[in-house]
Structure 1
Amino acid sequence: MIFKMLTQDLNIIPLRASSIDIHPNAKWSQNGITVVGRNEYGSGTNQLRYPRGLYIDDDQTIYVADYGNHRIVEWKYGATNGKVIAGGNGPGNEANQLNHPRDVIVDKERDSLIISDWGNNRVVRWPRQDSASGETIISNIACFGLTMDENGSLYIVDDIKHE
């Protein structure tokens, strides 16, 4: 389940380390709201299976790295079902497949997703708009997490090399 965390004054706090600006005296609500994955785990468009990374864009669309289903799921604000926008074709290393994705971010400049395809030791760029496949942009890397700064520089955590 993915929770929307609210401060006491009900302002939404982005859940991405690179974009969080939390006041040191912020008080957290003790009652989070489930906004994604409200059902038992599974492979339906309203379900997730071992979700890992997530990204929330400027429109409050949530992108989830659905590790156990080998896909990235997009949840529009207020939606009760997600939409598979990357992978979802079983585990594999073809251009239309992912294998245990761990993280996902949005590259606003290229209107694409950057995906940590951990099981394939690669980082993939996948267009956000109606694309059936992505392209490998970095190979031979056990990418465990990633983020992008405001200048478009990509930062990656390599699980195997401890970098």
Structure 2
Amino acid sequence: MSLNGKMSKIVNVAGTGTSGSGLEQFSGPWGIFVDNNFTLYVADSGNNRIQRFQLGENIGATIAGNGTPNDLMLNNPTDIILDLDGNLFIAGNDNSRIIRVIHDAYHCVVGCNRNSTSPSEKLNKSYAVRFDSRGNLFVADECNHRIQKFTLATNSCGNSN
């Protein structure tokens, strides 16, 4: 779209327009993220998976959730984002947690302990995730009616936990 509000070209980059579970289909895509290589990541909420589409490809690869060997069970993923190191962060709406995926390994980084007595550690339908320029993670916590900021810990090797 130009600054005067006129559309120059519309291109379908992913999805067939028909709901389904094929690698070229979605069932309720919610969050999207495009990295510096123009790789498209899609939170395919209804299929409980994250799809990755390389530039120019219309058939995706499931990288998290249903159909992956890492056994990561997603329940209504709503948003995804990559950090500066290329780690994938997933907001799981019905899981009420934030998951980090590095290669085929994953672990929970926010909302992990459902028995926690700290209200700030309990998410209730995490909806969206974003990073600021300092690497702080912001989470839209839908049913707790708040936005939370989390500072991810860094270990002695310089890796975040």
Shorter-normalised TM range: 0.7 to 0.9
What TM-score comes out, normalization by structure 1 length? 0.75
Q: 1:34: how far off?
A: 0.8
| 1:120 aligns to 2:102 (yes or no) | no
Indicate the percent of aligned positions where both proteins have the same amino acid. 29
Supply the AA of the counterpart residue of 2:101: W
Distance, in Å, in 2 between the alignment partners of 1:114 and 1:46 is 22
Q: Does 1:68 align with 2:46?
A: yes
Deviation at 1:122, TM superposition (A): 0.6
Specify the code of the residue in structure 1 equivalent to 2:91: S
Q: Point out the structure with max Rg over C-alpha.
A: 2
1:135 equivalent in structure 2: 107
What is the alpha-carbon root mean square deviation over aligned residues? 2.0
Give runs of aligned pairs for residues 38-49 of structure 1, distance below 5 A: 38-49=16-27
Q: Does 1:55 align with 2:33?
A: yes
Q: Which amino acid aligns with 1:134?
A: Y
In the TM superposition, what whole-angstrom CA distance separates every residue of 1:133-162 from its partner, at most 9, and x where no partner exists?
Answer: 421111131211111122211111101110
Displacement of 1:108 in angstroms is: 2.1
Question: 1:124/1:26 Cα in 2 relative to 1: closer, same or farther (>3 Å)?
Answer: farther
Query: How many Å apart are 1:95 and its aligned residue?
Result: 5.6
**1:70-89: CA deviation from partner (whole Å, max 9, x where unpaired):** 00000111002000001114
CA deviation profile, 1:95-121 (whole Å, cap 9, x unmatched): 611110010000122x21110011111
Match of 1:161 among 139, 144, 148: 144
Q: 2 CA distance for matches of 1:35 and 1:51?
A: 13
Task: Look up the SS of the partner of 1:136 in the other structure.
Answer: strand
Q: Distance between the aligned counterparts of 1:37 and 1:74, measured in 2?
A: 12
Alignment length (residue pairs): 134
Secondary structure of the corresponding residue to residue 55 of structure 1: strand
Q: Which residue of 1 aligns with 2:81?
A: 105
**C-alpha separation between the residues in 2 aligned to 1:102 and 1:117?**
6
Tell me the secondary structure at the aligned position of residue 94 of structure 2. Answer: helix
Relative to structure 1, is the Cα distance of residues 154 and 28 closer, same or farther in structure 2, using a 3 angstrom cutoff? Answer: farther
TM-score, normalised with respect to structure 2: 0.76
